[in-house]
């Protein structure tokens, strides 16, 4: 049984007790934001830390710790202390941002001021130099101070050594944003996907900073190609996944993309697309699709010129 199937069973049992409305999911999200930090051992001596706003993966070598994503700023101090305690090292020498969102870049200022190398896609650095609206929340994020901005950016991919492991990172093009990086711990066979993969309800497509539904499908295709049957995949939110879980997600998003594209070509708008219920067979598992369908539909506008 895959992890996705386990999650589906859990959600179905939840659905049996309550009406399928947004309320239980919104409540669950609010509770997870207040959750205390929890660490879970991963293969290869890596650690998963949850409860910081988004999943954080930690590795270390003789020089210190490496973190993939840094949670929200209000958890940065507690997170760093937990990382140092769990790894037994004195400092975090490297932080990789999978993208610009506050749930991933909240430790940038603290670790950047302490001298950490902050690796990200160049587009992530650029978004962090300005103020951006938050998706599905009120308010804006950024600009971050100079010390908090990525100081080792890439346009494509890169690689570094961490003890005995090789850590590759690479660009997922325009998917969740236009600055998404995956991080692949080769020896541990662990793939960190950022928010291009979600295992906690529908994903968010931040089209205002370059994400789009077609890119989410392509991003999943790339992540599947990087995985084998034993690869563990860390999503931006929620429990770990397997390659077969990603294959299920890719089929799901590709199906929805195809339906939305057809509706767009008929001249429909987001509300009309929602009325067609293009996610009908997935809603019991994923929850209320309103935000997802709206963002996914709007995300196509920049990719389809009139009469294309
Ligand atoms: Zn995100």
pLDDT in tens, 53-110: 999 999 999 999 999 999 999 999 999 999 999 999 999 999 999 999 999 999 999 9
57 CB-near residues (< 8 Å, 6+ apart): 42, 46, 47, 48, 49, 67, 68, 69, 183, 185, 190, 192, 234
Q: Are 35 and 51 in contact (CB under 8 A)?
A: yes
> Binning pLDDT at 50, 70 and 90, where does residue 12 land?
very low
Summarize pLDDT for 271-303 with one digit per residue, the tens: 999 999 999 999 999 999 999 999 999 999 999
Residue reference for tokens 């100081």:
151
Domains for the chain: give ranges and CATH numbers: 3-8+21-251 (3.60.15.10)
pLDDT at 1 over 60: no
What is the predicted pLDDT for the residue at 74? 97
Q: Are 246 and 234 in contact (CB under 8 A)?
A: no
Q: Are 188 and 43 in contact (CB under 8 A)?
A: yes
User: What is the CA(232)–ligand 1 centre distance, in A?
Assistant: 20
Summarize pLDDT for 121-169 with one digit per residue, the tens: 999 999 999 999 999 889 999 999 999 999 999 999 999 999 999 999 9
What is the predicted pLDDT for the residue at 7? 52
What is the Cα 44 distance to its own chain's centre? Answer: 22
User: What is the CA(135)–ligand 1 centre distance, in A?
Assistant: 9
User: What is the CA(54)–ligand 1 centre distance, in A?
Assistant: 9
User: What is the CA(236)–ligand 1 centre distance, in A?
Assistant: 7
Nearest of 308, 234, 222, 299 to residue 265 by alpha carbon: 308
User: What is the CA(33)–ligand 1 centre distance, in A?
Assistant: 14
User: What is the CA(134)–ligand 1 centre distance, in A?
Assistant: 10
Q: For residue 49, what are the β-bridge partners? A: 39, 56
Degrees, nearest 5: CA angle 157-61-96: 35
User: What is the CA(204)–ligand 1 centre distance, in A?
Assistant: 7
Q: Are 250 and 68 in contact (CB under 8 A)?
A: no
Q: Averaged over 107-119, what is the pLDDT?
A: 98
Question: Could you say which DSSP state residue 124 is in?
Answer: H
User: What is the CA(154)–ligand 1 centre distance, in A?
Assistant: 19
pLDDT at 28 over 50: no
pLDDT at 10 over 90: no
Q: Are 175 and 196 in contact (CB under 8 A)?
A: yes
User: What is the CA(62)–ligand 1 centre distance, in A?
Assistant: 31
pTM for this one?
0.89
92 CB-near residues (< 8 Å, 6+ apart): 64, 65, 66, 67, 80, 83, 84, 111, 114, 116
What is the predicted pLDDT for the residue at 69? 99
292 CB-near residues (< 8 Å, 6+ apart): 202, 203, 204, 205, 279, 286
Q: State the Cα–Cα distance between residues 59 and 208, nearest whole angstrom.
A: 32
Q: What percent of the chain has pLDDT over 70?
A: 88
pLDDT at 14 over 50: no
User: What is the CA(143)–ligand 1 centre distance, in A?
Assistant: 16
């Amino acid at each position: 049984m895959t992890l996705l199937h386990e999650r589906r069973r859990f959600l179905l049992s939840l659905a049996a007790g309550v009406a399928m409305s947004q309320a239980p999911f919104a409540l669950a999200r609010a509770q997870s934001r207040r959750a205390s930090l929890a660490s879970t051992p991963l293969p290869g001596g890596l650690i998963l830390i949850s409860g910081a706003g988004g999943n954080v993966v930690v590795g270390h070598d003789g020089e210190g710790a490496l973190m993939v994503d840094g949670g929200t700023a209000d958890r940065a101090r507690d997170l760093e202390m937990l990382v140092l305690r769990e790894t037994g090292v004195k400092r975090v020498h490297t932080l990789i941002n999978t993208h610009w969102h506050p749930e991933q870049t909240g430790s940038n200022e603290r670790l950047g001021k302490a001298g950490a190398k902050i690796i990200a896609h160049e587009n992530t650095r650029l978004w962090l130099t300005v103020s951006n609206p938050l998706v599905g929340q009120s308010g804006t994020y950024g600009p971050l101070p100079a010390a908090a901005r990525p100081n080792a950016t890439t346009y494509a991919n890169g690689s570094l050594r961490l003890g005995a492991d090789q850590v590759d990172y690479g660009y997922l093009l325009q998917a969740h944003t236009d600055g998404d990086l995956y991080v692949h711990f080769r020896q541990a066979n662990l793939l960190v996907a950022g928010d291009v993969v979600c295992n906690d309800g529908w994903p968010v497509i931040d089209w205002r900073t370059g994400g789009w539904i077609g890119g989410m499908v392509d991003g999943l295709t790339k992540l599947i190609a990087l995985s084998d049957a034993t690869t563990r995949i860390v999503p931006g939110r929620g429990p770990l996944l397997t390659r077969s879980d990603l294959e299920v997600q890719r089929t799901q998003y590709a199906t929805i993309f195809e339906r939305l594209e057809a509706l767009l070509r008929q001249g429909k708008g987001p509300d009309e697309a929602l009325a067609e219920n293009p996610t009908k067979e997935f809603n019991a598992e994923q929850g209320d699709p309103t935000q997802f369908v709206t963002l996914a539909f709007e995300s196509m506008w920049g990719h389809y010129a009139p009469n294309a």
